Structures are given as structure tokens and as C-alpha cells.
Structure 1
Amino acid sequence: MEHLELGWMLLYLITMAASTPFIDAKCNCVTDYWDSLSCVLNITGTRDSSPYTLIFSGNCSEKKSEFTCELVQTHGEYRCARKIPRDCMFIETLLTIDLQHNLSKFPVQPKFEPAQCIQTRAPYAPVVTQTANLWNITWTTNYEGHMYLKDYLDFELLLQGKLLSSRRTPYLCVEKTKLQSSSLLCARVRSKPSPEDYGWVWSEWSNETCWKTDLNTGQNGSTLVIWKCLGALCALLLTILSISTLRYYMKTMKAQIPSPAPFFQTLFHQYDGHLKDWISAHRSFVLEDKLTTDIVIIEFISKKPEELQDFQSTSYPLDVVRNDSSYVGIADFESPALLTALCPNSSTSYTQFPAFLWGESRPVEADEALKPSL
């Protein structure tokens, strides 16, 4: 009986050993160092469809943590992905990974450090602009707000079958002459952590960006620059020609405008700049056609008081010609509303009043209208 039980026990152990899966667990799990975890396992020797689950346990920020990730079989592999606490995304974090199948646990990775198994998120698709000689290619890293990696990522750009590297800068400038002539160019980019303190694998490639280009763009970039220089030179020549033409027409117009210098020449040569004397000498040509009638001049002579009393008691009518061009001159009397003229035969100024201002029958009395101011 004892031998029978021993045989059954041996058979059970052999059966369990035969059904034990063989797992390749060499860093099968990676994190994006944000808040995500993904694992890929190759499990062989299985004979049932029971679920497989990964169990993570350890300390995250000095707190004991444990979480699971259920594996799903796809294309002969088992995969799982899940969100994990951000407290576990530190360089000091150390976790243990076990595989659970039915009621059994199998060690997969006794020491899993998230900071040493980083696969960053793929960058966004590149954006391409151009100048005369360059292709400017930029992209967004997906880590702009990350506490540690926002400024510490390296990149590889795949352009026309060539790998171009960029250290910690999310852009590249590529000379057009270094690319083969093609009507279609395509580029994509991937990233990884830059510091040596981290362990990493390259991220997935970003989405591809393609753009059309002239077949001779790379070869004829210098030709475009030459044409631009020629255009600028032509514009400069046209400007100079326009300025010269404008100066020529200005000189021609200036030559046709008479100079006033001959008219004022006698003012300085004959009258030494005395404007009043010069105007008095040239007054005749201004009033020659207008002032053709006689002018009555009344001068006031200083007299003694007794003689002045007799003079004031006597009225002297003036015989004035009544027409529009007749004037009466009163010495040393100025009125801004009437025409002021200079007497050509005397150095005394007079104010001339048209005769029609006096009326036809009103006599002019010397003691009232022509009384000097004392």
C-alpha cells in the first residue's frame, strides 16, 4: 500500500514538472518613466489555457506596494500593460516580479528597477520647414513636462534611409545638397534617456512625415541664392536711375523759374538796403494808373494861442472833386481801414481819404475834421 502511494506521488511530481512553464525573463518589462508599465514574456511547455498573471511587489517611496498585470497571449507571446503609481518611478525603486499560474508562483525577475528598464514614449511626428539650402525638421518629445527627462533625451532621425543623431535637442537642420535627388522625402524619429544613470531601450518610431520636393532642390539651392542677389541688384539700379531722373527734372524746372534777384538789385546797390526809400522811388509804377487826380494836402503850422483861437473860429470849406479817385490828404493821420500812400514830393506821410466819403453838400471844417492832436 505504501508503495502504491509512493508511486502516485512520484507520478504527480513528474506531471507537475512536465507542465511547469519555461520562461525567458531577461528584462521583459519596461516603463515609460511616466506612469505606464508593459511586459512581454515567452512561455513554453504549457498545456492548458489557464490565465497567467504577473505580480509586482516591493517598496515605492518607502511604502510597501503590490500590484498585478494580467498577461494576454498574442502572436505566440504573452503581453500585459497597465498604469502604476508614480511613486514607483524613482531611481531607488526596486521591485520583484513573479508569474502566477493556477495556484503556483514562479520567479520571473527578482530585481526589477524601473529606472534601468526605460522605453520612452515615441515622439510626435516631425514637422518640416525649409530655407534656400536647408531642411529644418522639428518634433515634440512627449516629455516636455517631465520632472527628470524633459531636457535629457537623445534622438535619432531616419531620413531617406540615413540615421541622423541629435543630442538633447528636438530638431535637426539638414543640408539639401547632402540628400539624394528625390520627389518624395520621409522622416521619423525616436528617443531614449540621455543620462548614464538610466538603463534604456529605444522608443518606438514616431509617425512618419513625408513631403514632396523638387528633384533639383538640393543641387540648385545656390542657383536660387544667385537669382535673389540678381533681383536685389536690379532693384538697386532702378532706384539709382529713378533718383538721377528726378534730379534732372528738378534742375530743368528750376531753370525755368525766374529769379527775383534783378528786381531787388537796386535796393542794395543804390539805396544800401533802405526799403522805405526804395519803395518811395518805385511807388509811381504801382499807383501810376490809379492815382491820377489831384491830392489836397493840409499841413498844420504851429501858432500862438491867440492866433490859434482866431483860426479855430473860422471855417474853411474845401473844394473837393467828387469822384471815386479823389483823395484828401491829412498829415500825420493814420487809419488802418483806408489806403496809406507815400507822397512822392515830401518826406511826411499822409493818409489819403477817398472823396466820396465826404458827401456832396457837407463842407469840411478845419477846426473839427482837421484839428491836430495837441
Structure 2
Amino acid sequence: MTSQPATNLESIDVFLGNKLLDYVEPIEFFALLNKHGISEDNIGSSSISELYSLIPREIYNKVFFDCVMFNHLKNIFIYNVDVDKEKFKSEIIDILKEINDSSNIPSVMKSFIKEDGFNLMTKLGDETNLGDKFVLGLEYVENEGIDQARLLFSHVVLTKSGKTIHNVCGVIIDFSNQKCLILLRNIVDLEKGDTPDLIDKLKITLPSYRDWVINKFENIIEFQPHDVEEVRLRMYEICKNFDEVLLREDRALVTEKLESRVSQNINDYLSQLTTEEITVSNADKSSLKNSILSLLNGAYVKSKYKSKDLQKKAKSLKLDGYPTKIQYTSSKFDKGATQSSSKSEPVASSEIYHSIYNNFSEASSLDKWCIAWFTDYQHTDPKNYDVIQTTIYVRLQMTQVIFLPTRALNEELISHVIRKISDGPTN
């Protein structure tokens, strides 16, 4: 007697999510299993795919979902939104069904969308077509002050080497904070297609993928414009706060020992140049004094601190991190930029930084900046200097955060960075 094909995805005990394993970091996967009470003693040397039939399905699906969402989607767009949770929950399923119904994924997968959440990632197999866009999963997270809906989408694309892959997009709807995060991976070696139909199906960029997702939510989520100058000012305040805490003692020492002498020398020098007709205002003298003190502070910092010493000081002060590059616009509309030589050195280690410090300290906003964040952000290990670097842009409609390291991330670290950027300086 011929067996009938399964119509319930939960009855499939074979792991079919191999094409998404590129999004799952084994170390993070097993770390999450451990948090769910499944230790290495329970699983031995089993691989991620082998574990599918060895541990509770609910735990496996949750861990797999979270790894795909947070390990390698490192381009994050942060939007302010107006969203009602009950309206979202009542209408989202019809939207997701419409998306999947318009794709060529197997009908059994289309029928598996559930109101309380679903996960198709371990059931994909090879039964998808180039250009397909569909929903991979939905989950609701309600614990420890978190109230979110999380979704994963896929666009089936082709690499230049001829490999069919899933280009995944993550979406987090934060009901408590009225934020929407869109998480993407920048895949650079994609094939554009060689026929008009294929070119149209495979055409994708980070902005176009992001906008496609946003358009799907336009009837249940109102994406709000944000105040660009206000956000840029907040970025500046965060950056300046890191700098002031890091170098407060050094600047105070330079000022205490040299300010009066610098002021006297300025007066002496200018007295040789000025006449009754040519004078220098007190404001200009003050600006000159501050510039000289800043240069002296730069020379002092360079002499005092060896490579990575400032990083260690930032850690000892329990800072969240430190700037490594800044691009600013001053209140006088002057523009400037400077950066350190590596992620392990704060921008304050750069002599150029001190030469422009006065303009920066009077800046009205940051246009672009890079910050290295301590991964041990709770400062449990004073000798752990490990950092990850981010580049932050404030766009007209959103804030974009790019995590630069190639290594995997996790939910806690991403949430920490996003929260710090959203809340402003606290150190």
C-alpha cells in the first residue's frame, strides 16, 4: 500500500532547514540550548541538524528561530511606529497568508500559518523557486518587560557561483516602545539574472527589500517620521559623554597646570602684534586658549597612554564603549571627521582628534559615527576588553546601525546596543 504524503508539518521528523544553516552560528545555538536546560551532556557531539529529532521540538524551533534572527542579520534599521497590538494580531495572519499564497512554496507550507506563531524554517527542503518571497515564521515574545512580535521573511536568490540561497529579513515589532526593527544581511555576490523575467525576480537591494517588507505592513503599522536633528543631537551627546568621562581627569590636569600660563603667553604674543587699530577680542583669545589647551592635552594623552591603554581605562570606568570615528557638523556649519587606527583604540588616541576637539565639542550633531561596544557590557570580567564595532547613520526616516564584525551576534548584545542608542547617554 502506498503511503500518503504528510499534510501536517509537525509530523515531519526529518530536518529540512539546511539552506538556512548559514544563518545559524553553532556556538550561539548550543549556548541557547543550554539556557533552555539542555546541556552538552544531553546532546553529546550531535550536529544542529541531528538534534532536530533528539530534543523537544518547541525548544529546537525557538532556538533555531532566534539564531536566524540575531546571529548574522547585521544591517538594522530602526523606525518609530504607531502600532496597536490587538489590531496587529487580528490582521497580520491574513497579510502573511496573502504573501505566501502568492509564492510557489508547497501548499502544505502555506496552510501551516497559525495565529499564535509558526516556524517553516526546518521544513523548507528544496521546494522553492528563484525569486520567491515568503514568510518563514512568526513568534510572539512576552516576558521580562519584552512585548514583541518577530517575523522572518525569505527571498530566494542565486549567487554568482550558481547556488540557490535564502536571503533572510527579520522584523521585530516592539509594542512597548513603539519601534520597528528591520534586520538584513548584506549579501554581495548575488546573480542579477540573464532574462527579463529572472532579472525582475532576483532584483534586490537592502533598501528595496526593506521597503518591500514595510509596504506589507502599511495597513496595520504607521511608520512615523523622526526628528533627524534631535536624533543626531542624541548621537552627539552619547559620543561626547564617552569622551568626557574617558578624559575628564587628564583635561582637568592640563587645565589646572597650564591654563593661566597659556593665557599669559597668548596675551604676550598678541601684544607684539596688536595696535590701537588692530585688536583681538576676548572671545577670540578664549577660543585660541582652548585650542592650545586641547593640543597640549592631545600631546599629553599620546605620551601618557600606550596602545590600548585608553581601551583599558574605558573598561575600568565601566563605559559601554568608546567612539572610534566621528563625522560631525558644528554649530557654525563646519564639518570635520577623524578616526582611530583600530577598534581597540578610542578616537581620543588620535592627535587629529584633539586638533579639532573644540569644533567637535561645539558640534550641533553627528552625521555618522562608529563606536566600539564592550561585549562584556555588564562588566563581570574587568580583563575582558573584547569589543564589537558599529557604524551608525541617522537617515531621514530611520536610524541605521551596521554591526561590522564578521562573527556572530546574539539577541542580548543587539538589544543592548539598540537600547543605548535609543536612550541616550547614561555613563
Q: TM-score range by the shorter chain?
A: under 0.3
Larger helix share, 1 or 2: 2
TM-score with structure 1 setting the length: 0.24
More strand by share: 1
TM-score by length of 2: 0.22
